[in-house]
């Protein structure tokens, strides 16, 4: 792939070097990255799944970003629909966010035998109301952390991850979790793959509230940090303006 910005003629790099950059925690909170893929017209899924937008180059970037993280954060809806498994080539721990506790206990990530560099069970971030039922349903297969009473306190969740040693957290969606993190001003970096497709229809965006919610958070300023191209696929990275170095 080629780096288009910052402009360096014929600057060809691999995915590992494209992902590399300094990422430092701020005020005790881990550096939080988002990684998403979208179509030209902003769709974040095809038939409800992101796989229809992804390709070989995007999967390479996906793997390298996972390798740069201590924790992979994902919403329960995404984990359930995408049938999440433990990371294959990363020692990052999985943390699943669910305010309602609606997590499919049959997911492969709960059944997998834990060997190699990542032997920790997944962490379930939920509420005090849902926590006891989640803990009972996943006894011995997950650790449960209650952040908030009836809604998940994402700042408290990230501080808990920091206390466990996490310096860099990678969020893989879905749109509702992304929107909540942006509204709380917790996102430091956005990595977005633009697939050369136009989807149309009512597909979700990379960040959007749940049906019926009318959240209107303040816009957050980001600075473009890098633009890469692999054929017709674009990879863009933005850094929150307050974290620009």
pLDDT confidence band for 118 (50 / 70 / 90): low
The answer to whether residue 24 scores a pLDDT higher than 50 is yes
Across 4-26, average pLDDT? 86
* Average pLDDT taken over every residue of the chain: 89
Within the chain, residue ranges assigned H as helices are 15-19, 56-67, 76-81, 108-111, 131-137, 154-163, 175-183
DSSP code of residue 241: G
CA separation for the pair 101, 151 (Å, rounded): 11
Q: At residue 9, does pLDDT exceed 70? A: no
Whether residue 9 is contained in a domain is answered as no
Residue 111: other Cβ atoms inside 10 A: 11
- Provide the sign of the torsion angle of the four alpha carbons 225, 228, 232, 234, taken in this order: negative
Instruction: Give domain status of residue 168, yes or no.
Output: yes
> What range does the domain containing 129 cover?
24-243
Evaluate whether 38 touches 191 at the Cβ level (below 8 Å): no
pLDDT at 211 over 90: no
In a domain, 5, yes or no: no
Q: Which positions ≥6 away from 245 have C-beta within 8 Å?
A: 22, 239
DSSP state of 217: P
Model confidence over 84-108: pLDDT tens digits? 998 877 789 999 999 999 999 999 9
CATH of the domain at 29: 3.40.430.10
User: Once rounded to an integer, what is the mean pLDDT over residues 199-212?
Assistant: 76
Domain count, the chain: 1
Percentage, residues of the chain above pLDDT 70? 91
The pTM of this model reads 0.91
The reply to whether 11 falls in a domain is: no
For 232, residues 6+ apart whose C-beta sits below 8 A from its C-beta are 196
Pairing of strands 93-97, 123-126: parallel
81 Cβ neighbours under 8 A, 6+ residues apart: 48, 49
Tokens (6 digits) for 47: 């038939």
Q: What is the pLDDT of residue 212?
A: 42
pLDDT at 210: 52
């Amino acid at each position: 792939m080629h780096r288009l910005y910052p402009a360096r003629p014929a600057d060809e790099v691999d995915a590992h070097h494209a992902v590399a950059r300094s990422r430092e925690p701020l005020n005790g909170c881990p550096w939080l990255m988002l990684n998403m893929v979208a179509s030209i017209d902003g769709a974040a899924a095809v038939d409800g799944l992101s796989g229809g937008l992804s390709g070989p180059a995007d999967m390479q970037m996906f793997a390298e970003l996972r390798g740069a993280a201590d924790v992979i954060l994902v919403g329960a809806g995404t984990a359930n629909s995408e049938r999440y498994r433990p990371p294959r080539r990363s020692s990052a721990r999985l943390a699943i966010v669910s305010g309602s506790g609606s997590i499919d206990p049959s997911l492969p990530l709960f059944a997998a035998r834990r060997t190699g560099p990542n032997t920790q069970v997944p962490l379930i971030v939920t509420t005090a109301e849902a926590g006891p039922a989640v803990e009972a349903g996943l006894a011995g297969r997950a650790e449960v952390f209650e952040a908030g009473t009836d809604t998940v306190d994402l700042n408290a969740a990230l501080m808990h991850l920091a206390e466990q040693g996490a310096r860099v957290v990678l969020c893989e969606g879905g749109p509702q979790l992304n929107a909540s993190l942006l509204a709380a001003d917790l996102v430091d970096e956005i990595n977005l793959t633009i697939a050369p497709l136009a989807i149309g229809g009512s597909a979700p965006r990379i960040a959007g509230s749940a049906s019926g919610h009318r959240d209107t958070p303040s816009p957050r300023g980001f600075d473009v940090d890098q633009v890469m191209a692999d054929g017709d696929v674009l990879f863009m990275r933005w850094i929150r303006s307050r974290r620009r170095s």
